[in-house]
Amino acid sequence: MRHDLFQENQHLKNQLRELIDSVGSYRGTQRRFENFELKLLECQNFKTLIDCLIETIITDFNLDNVSLTLFDPNHIAREMLGSLLPHQQHLSFVDVYQNLCLPFRELQASNSWPGGSPGSMRPQLSSSLAYIKLAGFESTGVKSVAILPLIRENLLIGYFCLGSYTKKRFSPDLAIQLLSHLSAVIAVCLENTLSREQLHQLSQIDMLTRVKNRRAFDKDLRREIARSERDKLPLSCLFADLDYFKIINDTYGHPTGDRTLKAVASSIQELLRETDVLARIGGEEFTVLLPNTESEKARDIAERIRHKIEHIEIPDDKEQIVRLTTSIGYASWAPGMLSNETVDDVHRRLMSAADRAVYKAKESGRNRVRGEQYSQLRDS
């Protein structure tokens, strides 16, 4: 009997030791999840958040692969990331909601995924080929996956997939409470950063022409002045004022006037470099910021813009062709000429010089390009 009690006691000790080890392991895992969620919450913009989801999580959790699929019907997420999408092999976007839900519906139809609406799905873990295909890992050597549906207000906004080369890493019998919490945090962070950046972007854009507005232009001009001073590079500014634009509105109507402004903005943008900045700063006034551009080059660019606008054809509501011209003024600034100018001084004087040049173009017959010499501050 004593032997039996001893054996039972040893067995209980082993069970307690395993339980303590299990609790310690869970606490360590929980801390890793909490630390990673804090990193997500600290991301200030969408690109940083994507970097965290795709790069940081692989390191923090020793993963072999990840993928993120997002519902992006208006291409807002893609626009935030720019034309060269980072981590392109790990990212995909879906424009139609039914297509986003379709892979899960198919798994539900085959009883491979628990039933229910897409907006109520919970994370699932599996080593099945169907799950690996859903994650986009079928040719990567991944043996098991965790699929995290991203839900906001009972709607599926995407799904995040974790992959491992080990078949037992994401087995269905594992507890998923931490993954459920992580998927909720990811969904909130995605929605918040996209909304915040979209609001910021809207505050910087002229809604009709989709180019920058006066506020954004002023900010960019100050930044470029500081950069030009640092790098000792010239900087030029163009003002383009459409000739007799009021007549177009009065004669053909405001819808035609709006189409005209859109066409002008698009035509100017086609002639600019990626580093140049185009903005609409008034009703029919546009301005162009040209970094690292001397006066002679600025005049050439202004002439090309004037010539292109002169040949724009805009149909009115009755399919009649409307044509227009523009008067353009330019001014240039070279850094380091005097030491007592601030960024605000250069900003004010460069804009003022370009504005005076526009009036010169108007007074000399319109549909002209005129320059104005930048007026330096006097030495004190």
Nearest to 346 by CA among 234, 240, 205, 213: 234
> Which of 284, 294, 313, 319 is the catalytic position?
284
Determine whether 270 is an active site residue: no
Nearest to 68 by CA among 185, 187, 180: 187
Nearest to 67 by CA among 103, 33, 21: 103
Distance CA 341, CA 229 (A): 11
Phi, psi of 372 (to 5 degrees): -135, 135
* CA of residue 216 relative to chain centroid, distance: 16
Residue type, 6: F
Distance CA 377, CA 334 (A): 13
Contacts 24+ apart (CB under 8 A), 311-317: 312/260, 312/263, 312/264, 312/267, 314/256, 314/259, 314/260, 314/263, 315/259, 316/252, 316/253, 316/256, 317/252, 317/253, 317/255, 317/256
Catalytic residue annotation: 284
